[in-house]
Amino acid sequence: MDKGKFITIEGGDGAGKSTQIPFVEQLIRSRGHKLQVTREPGGTELGEQLREILLNFSAGKMCDDTELMLMFAARKQHLYEVITPALEAGVWVLCDRFTDATYAYQGGGRGIDASRIEVLEDWVQQGLQPDLTLLLDVPVEIGLGRTGKRGEVSDRFEQQQVCFKELVRESYLDRTRRFSHRIKRIDAAQKVDAVQIRIVEEFNAFADNVT
């Protein structure tokens, strides 16, 4: 049996991930593939508990390395319980964020050296990489304008300064240039319909190639 494909969606705050994930989900299903939709940090019972800590821990400062290792701890459990078994069974996996987010937030945002992230990436993923990553890219001010309108209580990452968010965006864009075979930038500042046209283009180019 063919293995499933692993697709991830990335983007900064207000890039429109929550609107576009159900859209990508429907694109994958329309090609007749079985699909598991999941997210990081999270996706397992343990991972969701770690997510709660990672996003909302408020008693003092969490050390950057602790944050990095908790992200990878949640990821290992997710791979072990959900992602790897699904892919092995021929099920496609659509994941809201994965390790590109770690390079962007813990690497770019927090300033942790990429070589240290790579050590954990190799250990935890043992070579597994997404087959396709859609980066919903939006200038920081536009993203902030959108999240501001939602009026929700913000988490530890959303509370970061604009310069942190600029560094996150730069890291994502840098990875898009370096891994252009896998990471596809979608201009998410456009209207929803225009974003979806670009998503369909990238998705079809990928899916036509693998099925």
Which residues here bind ligand TMP, judged by CB under 6 A? 39-41, 71, 96-97, 101-102, 105-106, 157
**Residue 38 identity (one-letter amino acid):** T
Nearer CB in complex with ligand TMP: 4/11: 11
- Tell me how far, at minimum, the Cβ of 112 lies from ligand TMP, in Å: 11
- Tell me how far, at minimum, the Cβ of 211 lies from ligand TMP, in Å: 28
Nearer CB in complex with ligand TMP: 105/207: 105
- Tell me how far, at minimum, the Cβ of 106 lies from ligand TMP, in Å: 6
Nearer CB in complex with ligand TMP: 39/207: 39
- Tell me how far, at minimum, the Cβ of 13 lies from ligand TMP, in Å: 7
155 close to 55: Cβ distance less than 8 angstroms: yes
Would you call the peptide bond into 85 cis, given omega within 30 degrees of 0 as the criterion? no
67-70, long-range: CB within 8 Å, 24+ apart, which pairs? 67/106, 67/110, 68/102, 68/106, 68/110, 68/112, 68/116, 68/117, 68/120, 69/120, 70/41
Nearer CB in complex with ligand TMP: 40/131: 40
